[in-house]
Structure 1
Amino acid sequence: MKPALLLTSCVLFLGACRSQAPRHPVAPVELAGDTLRDNALLGFGPEGVRELFDDALEASGRFELVSDEAPKKSRPWRLSLDVPFTREVLKDGNPHSFAEVGANLSLERFGGNTPQRYEVVGLGEAAVEEDSAEGRRTAMRAAMDSVLRQVTEAAVLQLAALERTDEALVADLQASDSRIREFALRTLAERKHPSAAPLLIERLKDTSDAEQVRRTIGALAEMKAKSAVPALIDLARGRDSGFLQEIVFAVGEIGGPEAEAYLYTVAQGHDTPSVQAAAQQALDTLYASRNHATAEARGQSHADP
């Protein structure tokens, strides 16, 4: 086969593979927040951002925009885009300032057994090459385009993870791309796969981001990962009463002998009445849940021939 013909065949083959990749139906994007309204740094409003985002979705080849009135072949994802900030920043040792745009993209789908909700984030930046109003707007638009493509790519990876088997996701935990590792971990935790717990516990020890800590605690509680109880107890030391109550309820949700002992100790001897009350409530709920499970097991044993 001639080289030119071979190259053409390869291009056509790759294009065909891409066109055959599953396309996710999405409803028209909703824009959230006030940053996009009357933003002089951008030079265009919400509709301009919507057009850029629609272009990013189309360029990915993985999304199919459906109107609210169109008949639904499958449940569409609803996308909500929030742009919390647009700003110009200086960086050490660089003569240029930089335009930065942050974006949070929420993906929601309803109608199945349980609602599905995921969130991806991105940060776009571009150097301000020309020290003028137009130069700043040009850089800000470039940063906006960059962050919209980032969150689109992240959404593709998140939705792809949902379609993968547990075995494939466990393998993805070793991927070189940190985003693939993150979405694999999220999905395994959602499925309560045992391989997720050690990594979540390690994250609990390493991260200082309060929101990520809360999400990790929630995932471990949802999994009822008893191996996480010692790490949660360590995390509680020296914390304020509000955060401590969150940990108390998470420990109660997980359960087990170590959790019971910790809750009993806190309920009996903590200095703060609100924390004592939270621990007692979590302990009572844990006892009730255990007794209910025991009663059900006894009923089942009597019913068996």
Structure 2
Amino acid sequence: MTGSPPLSGATGGVALVASGSARGTQQISNSQLGQRVDTSDEWIRTRTGIGNRCICGPDQSLADLSHQAGTQALSMAGWDADSLDLVLLATSTPDDLFGTAPKVQALLGARNAVAFDLTAACSGFLFALVTAAQFLRTGAMRRVLVIGADQLSRWVDWDDRRTCVLFGDGAGAVALEATSADRDGLVGFALRSDGARGNCLNLAQHNERQTLVDSASHQVGGYQPISMNGQEVYKFAVREVPAILKQLLEATDTAPESLDWLLLHQANQRILDAVADRFNLPHAKVLSNLAHYGNTSAATIPLMLDEAVRDGRIQPGHRIASSGFGAGLSWGAALFHWQGPS
């Protein structure tokens, strides 16, 4: 699916006005992981760019991370929680398989908001951002809080050095508001899915059955640890991310050199550098913090966005090209302007 405003039936635009973030309270270094599995700081850094990852503490949950990030975004925006129309939580690791967004809505005190989860793994935040924009553009809603959050630490095999070095826990939130079409901050987007290649990265159910009655049996609930074909995922990312970004930039008549920032899913520093090189962009324009947090899945883009907003790198009016990619397989891109709080 692709889209670029104005969409059919659209009546307005979308403003990205505020952000927030949260991360696990336990910091685990590469050297510490080397005490558990056969790895080293040098091995991990040279292959991924990751130096540390943040893991939820015993008193933290996915809902807690999401609540903290959402509260920060509301504070920056200057909004009361009860002014929200929608809380949209992008996550693949909910606290409750029936959904965690309603719990977050309650924690925020957003009594007037509908809340639901959206699952698209590491692409989740961008998919949620585009979904929220449709409610705002049609006039169905005025204020939306989009949260990307994942607690992958509970689904990692911490004795598998191929995957345990990669992931961390975090959340990021962005407050979106309906605005006039001439002030639309979401310039364009493109989204893709390819389930035929989905076996490269999985968090699959247990294939275990137990006897129910007589010859009938039932499947036992539960999930296996994350499994990943790292080489295939890397090849997928360095091929598809530049392609979808090129398509989006051409569709919106945007020159790569006009971008203020490239904001990609924080999975591997080599991927970030490869995409920048494809567009002849200086690496200084590529936002990166995975060295400190690892891959936090749906949280990486909004967490990095919030960090750069709060330290002053991202300023109102800056043009940002973003891409998320991961399990599904799914990938997407969005071109937007950061407006900031009014």
Given the two structures, how large is their TM-score scaled by the length of structure 1? Answer: 0.27
Kindly indicate whether structure 1 or structure 2 has the higher relative contact order, using CA contacts under 8 Å at least 6 residues apart.
2
Structure number having the greater helix percentage: 1
Q: Which has the larger radius of gyration?
A: 1
The structure with the largest strand share of the pair is 2
